[in-house]
Chains A and B, each alone.
Chain A
Amino acid sequence: MNPLIPSPDPIPLPAPAWLLEGLLVFTLFLHLLPMSLLMGGGSLTVISEFLGRRDDRHRRLAQATARLLPVVVAFTITLGIAPLLFLQVVFGPLFFSSSILMAWPWLSIVGMMLVGYYGYYWHSFQFERLGRRAVWVTLASAALFIIIGLLFTSNMVLMLTPARWGALYKAGRSGMQLGLAEPTVLPRFLHMFVASLALSGLGIAILGAVKARADTAFGTWVRQYGLRWFVAATWLQFAVGFWFLASLPASIRSLFLGGGTVETGLLIVALSLAVISLLTIQRWLAFGTTAILGTVALMVVIRDRLRAAYLASEFDPAKLAIQPQMAIFALFVLILLCGIAAIAWMVWKFALANVPRTQQ
């Protein structure tokens, strides 16, 4: 074990590690959905805004997606809190160490988030007034969120590779490391980014299906346009994904290529679901969407197995001391159910009342 890895917190975990890791995986899956719409959706909005200068359909599409982006940011942040909480509880000694090594870039995420978020609000509320300049606002916000994504990937890799820490710390205590000079960082980030383009394309297709109820021609076009992005990005993902796989250390890579039954099995099922989705989505949007969500969910599990493989000799959550607080956990579950009910009720009321009151 690397001697730099801080000792686990002397206070025991309030639940078995598998439960906390399970919540980490589940909430990360929830976070990745709006996160993908944010990262990919920003880029696709920029493209449609540029194309919208000549093509009115793209202008309308950009306006529709730009209106949604502030809400998407809010969901991304809100759903991002839970996985980060469970990550810090279980993997704190690794996460805090890597974060401190890249403290300034890591802290700057907060500032970039703030500026990017305000940018999308500005864009959403002033779309008409901003006119042709609007695209530059989207571009700036989209670029900020892409940089945030890159920094996240960098930290997530750095926390798994304690062997790199000593040299980085020796270079200075000022927290200025970016941690990008590691062969898996770029393919890992691109893997996420291309996935976000695919999911955003899918999101646009679903938006088109909804719009088609009121405006068939436009809605059908939006649906087809979104699906083109989904299909193209998902095919591209086969190349990027294998690049990422190839960039992993040999011992870890082999786990996913037959060496580990669970790891290889998960990967095969995930890829099969992606192929099924590609083949069916033109005809059956809901079915194809379900299949690709299955791929995303499995990929989050695979990601967890990848982390375990990286840390095999360094850090084993199962060995952490436990002192369960099951009564409070039960209270959390109860409050979570009430919270979901309250959210569902509000969204249901909002969706039902789809005619503005002033027009009644």
Chain B
Amino acid sequence: MNYLVWEIPQIGGGMLIGIISILHVFVSHFAIGGGLYLVLAERKAYRENDPAALEYVKSHSFFFVLVVLVFGAVSGVGIWWSIGLVSPAATSTLLHVFVWAWAIEWVFFAVEIVAAFVYYYGWDRLDRHTHLIVGWIYFIAAWLSLFMINGILTFMLTPGRWLMTREFWHAFWNPTAIPSLIIRTMACLALAGLYGLVTAGAIPERKLKAKMVRFAATWLLPASLVLPLAGAWYISQIPPLAREISMGDSPAVTIFAGLSIALSAVLFVFTFFGPYQRPQHFTLPFAFMLALVGLSVTGVTEWVREAVRKPYVIYGYMYSNGITRRDQEIIEHDGALQAAKWVTTREVREDNRLEVGRNLYEIQCASCHTINGFNGMRFAVKGWREEFIDFQLQHLSELKGFMPPFMGTDAERRALAAWLADLNPKVPPITEPLAQRTVPPIAVAMGGAQTADQ
């Protein structure tokens, strides 16, 4: 409402953020667990006085640098870039509530980056003891950056007491912060194991390979034991509506939530009976398959976490379309066109209803919907008459609990209904038109449709 919109044809903004985020999460959690993996594997090689194992750790660290320092860091910037473009109002909220938390996170990130470089370039320069300490600094700094981000991320679904107090610590230590931190930490360890399986699976020498494969597989065990408990704790803390959405109310979300659990189970079972029990038979394609399942778990889980937050982007504070509860009051008083900044018109007339509708679509719908692509409006209202669309708009929160209510005057709502109805060929009326029907004459509709089509 306050900001202009960026229309992304076909996929929409949410999907764009989703693609970047899932890839980032998959790599960044590895970046954290992988740090611990490197240190412990290096220490193990020293203790067992196994130069071949040490060579493996070195080559794994090269892979680690290329994946983590480059892709992990840049894709993290990519999330920030994309949320600012797609949801500027929500991004601004997170920045204002958490400026110093972000600043602290940045310090940890900087330490992490320097430590990774010193660790990687220091293999032949530093003594063993110092090298291990640098590895520990890397892991601790990386985990602390997760610790900071986790508080901010969980705030979006469960802002808790912050809604009343506006206190920083209430926002940071919100109801899901700790269970989520446990879940993410376990995911870090599991992903470190999955990446470790890829590099260990590529070791040519059989005995070393078996040893390192089993070592890597062990890293999935803590997650398989702790995740069910931490997951139940997490779910007990999320808002009731979010729980309902993920447990039946929204079929797509429910299926994905189920997939998250099922795929995790598959991953743990296959890792246990495969690389853990029979490391000598482990192959690289199997490693890639497990990594792919891991990526899928990451993807569906993050997707569900985002989806259950609807109709809010910051629960109880800001709707998915960037309109806050406070804005809502202003809109109900003055109308959406008056309250918004980037609109092409500020009044509803008989001859500009499609233009008004288009503006309202941009302000209130376009953050989740596209016109023709993902969550496409043309498809969603196909076969609906204008009166029916208007009825739906009046009862959005009852009919579709995961959608924000329509906010605006009656005339604005009818204009949005007219614009939506105009996306498809006109549906022939079954009965005589109602007396109060407000469909504009077709000539006006065509002439007034300033930007109805993409």
Interchain CB contact under 8 A, A350 and B121: yes
Residue of A with least CB distance to B77: A110
Bound CA span A355–B168, Å: 48
Q: Does A11 contact B (CB under 8 A)?
A: yes
Q: Does B391 contact A (CB under 8 A)?
A: no
Interface size on B, residues (CB 8 A): 65
Q: Does B443 contact A (CB under 8 A)?
A: no
Interface residues of A in 85-101 (CB under 8 A from B): 85, 88-89, 92-93, 96-97, 99-101
Interchain CB contact under 8 A, A74 and B69: yes
Bound CA span A332–B104, Å: 5
Q: Does A265 contact B (CB under 8 A)?
A: no
Which of A10, A11, A101, A106 is in CB contact (< 8 Å) with B81? A106
Interchain CB contact under 8 A, B4 and A77: no
Interchain CB contact under 8 A, B95 and A110: no
**B277 surroundings in chain A (CB, below 8 A):** none
**B70 surroundings in chain A (CB, below 8 A):** 114, 117-118, 121
Q: Does B78 contact A (CB under 8 A)?
A: yes
Chain A binding site: helix, strand, loop or mixed by DSSP? Answer: helix
Most chain A CB atoms below 10 A, which of B114, B137, B168: B114
Bound CA span A165–B342, Å: 10
Are A88 and B77 also in contact (CB < 8 A) when A20-B99, A169-B4, A169-B342 are?
no
Interchain CB contact under 8 A, B4 and A97: yes
Interface size on A, residues (CB 8 A): 69
How far apart are B406's CB and chain A's nearest CB, in angstroms?
21
Q: Does A329 contact B (CB under 8 A)?
A: yes
Interface residues of B in 60-98 (CB under 8 A from A): 66, 69-71, 73-75, 77-78, 81-82, 84-85, 88-89, 91-93, 95-97
Interchain CB contact under 8 A, B107 and A78: no
Bound CA span A74–B106, Å: 13
Interchain CB contact under 8 A, A89 and B99: yes
**B168 surroundings in chain A (CB, below 8 A):** 14, 325, 328
**B384 surroundings in chain A (CB, below 8 A):** none
**A92 surroundings in chain B (CB, below 8 A):** 88, 91-92, 95
Return the CB mask of B87-130 against A: 1 if under 8 Å, else 0.
01101110111011111101111110111011001101111001
Which of B8, B118, B362 is in CB contact (< 8 Å) with A347? B118
**B102 surroundings in chain A (CB, below 8 A):** 85
Q: Does A336 contact B (CB under 8 A)?
A: yes
**B91 surroundings in chain A (CB, below 8 A):** 88, 92, 96
Q: Does B324 contact A (CB under 8 A)?
A: yes
Which of A5, A74, A175, A332 is in CB contact (< 8 Å) with B73? A74
Q: Does B338 contact A (CB under 8 A)?
A: no
Bound CA span A3–B166, Å: 29
Interchain CB contact under 8 A, B88 and A356: no
Stretch at the interface among A190-198, A277-285, A338-346: A338-346
How far apart are A185's CB and chain B's nearest CB, in angstroms?
20
Bound CA span A356–B2, Å: 58
How far apart are B163's CB and chain A's nearest CB, in angstroms?
12
Interchain CB contact under 8 A, B88 and A335: no
Q: Does A12 contact B (CB under 8 A)?
A: yes
Return the CB mask of A65-79 against B: 1 if under 8 Å, else 0.
000000100100111
Return the CB mask of B1-34 against A: 1 if under 8 Å, else 0.
0111111110000000000100000000000000
Interchain CB contact under 8 A, A85 and B106: yes
Q: Does B400 contact A (CB under 8 A)?
A: no
Q: Does B200 contact A (CB under 8 A)?
A: no
Are A175 and B100 also in contact (CB < 8 A) when A9-B93, A347-B118 are?
no
Interchain CB contact under 8 A, A7 and B2: yes
Return the CB mask of A116-138 against B: 1 if under 8 Å, else 0.
01100100000000000000000
Q: Does A255 contact B (CB under 8 A)?
A: no
**A54 surroundings in chain B (CB, below 8 A):** none
How far apart are B365's CB and chain A's nearest CB, in angstroms?
13
Can you show 18 pairs from A to B with CB atoms below 8 A apart?
A4-B4, A4-B342, A7-B341, A9-B96, A23-B103, A81-B106, A88-B92, A96-B84, A113-B74, A121-B70, A175-B8, A335-B104, A339-B110, A339-B141, A343-B111, A346-B118, A353-B127, A356-B124
Write the residues of chain A forming the contact surface with B, with a CB cutoff of 8 angstroms. Answer: 3-7, 9-15, 20, 23, 71, 74, 77-79, 81-82, 85, 88-89, 92-93, 96-97, 99-101, 103, 106-107, 109-110, 113-114, 117-118, 121, 165, 169-170, 173-175, 323, 325, 328-329, 331-332, 335-336, 338-339, 342-343, 346-347, 349-350, 353-358
